[in-house]
Amino acid sequence: MKRWSCVLCLLALVSLALAGPAAAQPITHPLDPLTRLEHFTVLEVLQQAGKLADGSRFTRLELKEPDKAGVWAWRPGMPIARSAEVVVAQGRSVFEATVDVTGKRLVSWAERTGVQPMWTESEFGDEVVGKVMKDPRFAEALKRRGIAGSEFVTCIAVPPGSFGEPKYVGKRIGVLSCRLRSGYRNTWARRIEGLSVVMDMHAKEILEFVDDESVPVPAGGNDFDRAAFGKLREFGAPLEVRQPNGPAFTMDGHVITWDRWRFHVRPDSRVGVIISTATWKDGDRERPVMYQGHLSEIFVPYMSPQKDWYVRTFIDAGEFSAGGLADTLSPGIDCPDYATYIDSVVPAGAGWPTDKPRVACVFERTAGDMIWRHGTEGRPQRELVVRMVAMIGNYDYVVDWRFLPDGQIKVSLGATGIVETKMAGAKDARVAGTNGADSRADAYGRFVEPNVVAVNHDHYFNFRLDMDVDGATNRFVRDEIVAKTLPPGHPRRSIWVTETRPVTSEQDAKLTMDMHKPSLWRVTGTRQNHVGYPASYQLMPAHSIHTLLAPDEAARQRAGFIDHHLWVTPYAAGERYAAGDYPTLSTPGQGLPAWTKGNRSISDTDVVLWYTFGMHHMVRAEEWPVMPVLWHEFALRPFDFHDRNPAMDAGMKP
């Protein structure tokens, strides 16, 4: 407790140091993120309550969202009460806390048993990793591969999936992943294969050390920085996009107003960016569309059966976001030069607030498209984008929330970064330009260069969409598109018609896209448009996949949300993450599968959509050494929400 006993004096010093504008961040909305000083308030309350000790690790310290109905009812000038939700790991124990930030008091402190917290940054290079690297067996393994010593190697520990081995139950298991780092910046193509080391991160013990095949590490590098390429090619003429009069949106704290849209943006360490209270101005009315939307979870399983590869079944957001999922953005690359940026404060491992700049950007753009046209009449397209980029290990995921003048919200996700590779043995590797025949070395991936195989894998993304179409009382309906046979003697044999079917329970709302049985998925409100149809918003999916993992496989069961493209649940404040609150080393069935077992009613209530899309990734040569951005998107589009095209009066300046 000694280190924490001096927290109060440190707080006093820090408060003085932060007495400028950065310390006095105004709170102007109930959903605003915790400020730096509010983080310190939380630490002070916990320390005074005797809850902190040396070695306390914070995996969450964020705003505890106030009551949803209260947020919708709040108006500027009304008081704002502030609370924080906290997850603290102390040794093998995990504690959840609620702190009243406004009243500076501890509301609750309870141990959560049977769970493992997120992987923290310190664990990647934990003491046990150093222990492995000093082990004589490790030195011998490096020697067999022609590596001079451990100083030329970088190693990390990552959590494997849970595969039901009784000997590992209850332990905080890490598996070793090592790469040769000498000579090059990019080490992803220089993985040390054949080493399978299992570690108990709490006991600081090596549980299993297996050195299988000694595979040479490729001598070359694949650096991708500018120095590695020299002079870059130039286009024939410059292309400039400018806003000489500034942006057409306004930001009042974290509330953005653009065209007829108004919504709140909040950085969040686990999911990156949360869009809240999205409304559309219809005449003199602010019509609710969506209470909250955010990325909920990412699942990336690799398709290689080797012992040091099959454990790679990552549940990325829930396992690896302790330091903040959203990465710092680079102006002019990640976002246009004219973009506006949003900063964040994230807790370091010991809980201290750490400034993380530019975790989201906001900008307008036009691509020369039209909103609508007919003949010589039309309107140019213009859109507002809220962007964040999550860098998780080797992959980068770009998430765009795009607001359009016709009432649509489009969500685009782009995958880029570096694909994971394994080193193939020399005797069975195919060298480009030889005989062209496949060997067993590329049975589970594709060669991107001699002896380097990019391993096949999947990507799944789940988004939580709390729709409030004209209020919180909604229904979920399916418009089934069915063939109708016409009577004998009619010149046509068949047409299709729509049959609208309300879906009233969670089990019936577990839906999978089927091109042979098309349907539209909509959330309807209590209002009607001018011809009597219920106002609604449609979730319009795009490209996705069906999982090929076996139903009884633990990896699939841990990420059970991938079983269906869509789940619909009644709103519950504590249900936020599709794979559950604690997916690290989790047991199967957490999250959506567990919540929906009760088959709750979703009729005439507050409904939440959980949409999952994914892709099978068979890597091509053009994705090495860095993958060009591959985009997928879906849309939330008004469906009878308006009486006519809401973009008829859109402006002519794109």
- Domains in the chain (CATH in brackets) are 2-111 (3.10.450.40), 121-229 (3.10.450.40), 251-418+457-617+626-639 (2.70.98.20)
460 is catalytic: no
Give the helix/strand (H/E) hosting 498: strand 494-503
Comparison of pLDDT for 343 and 15, the residue scoring more? 343
Mean pLDDT over the full length of the chain: 91
Least confident range from 1-15, 113-127, 167-181, 433-447: namely 1-15
Average pLDDT over residues 208-221: 81
How is residue 524 written in tokens?
A: 């309807």
The predicted structure's pLDDT at residue 231: 85
What type of residue is 133?
M
How is residue 101 written in tokens?
A: 């930030």
Buried b (16+ CB within 10 A) or exposed e, 602-638: beebbbbbbbbbbbebebeeebbbbbeeeebbbbbbb
pLDDT category of residue 432 using cuts at 50, 70 and 90: very low
CB 276 within 8 A of CB 394: no
The single residue of 316, 466, 563, 606 carrying the catalytic annotation is: 316
- pLDDT 10s digits, 260-282: 999 999 999 999 999 999 999 99
Q: What percentage of the chain exceeds 90 in pLDDT? A: 77
Q: What percentage of the chain exceeds 70 in pLDDT? A: 93
CB 400 within 8 A of CB 409: no
The predicted structure's pLDDT at residue 433: 43
pTM of the model: 0.94
What type of residue is 40?
F
Buried b (16+ CB within 10 A) or exposed e, 375-405: eeeebbbbbbbbbbbbebbebbbbbbbbbbb
Average pLDDT over residues 319-332: 94
Comparing CA positions, the residue from 487, 480, 477 lying closest to residue 607 is 477
CB 605 within 8 A of CB 571: yes
Comparing CA positions, the residue from 332, 384, 390 lying closest to residue 356 is 390
Comparing CA positions, the residue from 199, 33, 94 lying closest to residue 581 is 94
Comparison of pLDDT for 230 and 29, the residue scoring more? 29
pLDDT category of residue 425 using cuts at 50, 70 and 90: low
CB 458 within 8 A of CB 306: no
395 is catalytic: yes
Average pLDDT over residues 35-58: 96
Strands 409-417 and 383-392: unpaired
Burial environment of residue 253 by CB neighbours within 10 A (0 to 12, 13 to 18, 19 or more): middle
pLDDT category of residue 454 using cuts at 50, 70 and 90: very high
pLDDT exceeds cutoff 60 at 3: no
pLDDT exceeds cutoff 50 at 18: no
Which residue(s) pair with 540 in the sheet? 635
How far lies 336's CA from each of 176, 273, 342, in Å?
39, 19, 14
pLDDT exceeds cutoff 60 at 427: no
Strands in 269-376 per DSSP E: 272-282, 285-301, 313-315, 340-347, 353-365, 370-374
Average pLDDT over residues 27-36: 97
d(CA 176, CA 151): 16
Q: Which residue is it, tokens 């309550």?
A: 49
pLDDT exceeds cutoff 60 at 429: no
pLDDT category of residue 316 using cuts at 50, 70 and 90: very high
- pLDDT 10s digits, 592-621: 999 999 999 999 999 999 999 999 999 999
Burial environment of residue 587 by CB neighbours within 10 A (0 to 12, 13 to 18, 19 or more): middle
The single residue of 291, 395, 537, 571 carrying the catalytic annotation is: 395
pLDDT category of residue 15 using cuts at 50, 70 and 90: very low
- pLDDT 10s digits, 368-409: 999 999 999 999 999 999 999 999 999 999 999 999 999 999
The predicted structure's pLDDT at residue 25: 67
pLDDT exceeds cutoff 70 at 426: no
The predicted structure's pLDDT at residue 513: 96
Comparison of pLDDT for 21 and 63, the residue scoring more? 63
How is residue 589 written in tokens?
A: 């069935």
- SS3 at position 174: strand
- pLDDT 10s digits, 70-83: 999 999 999 999 99
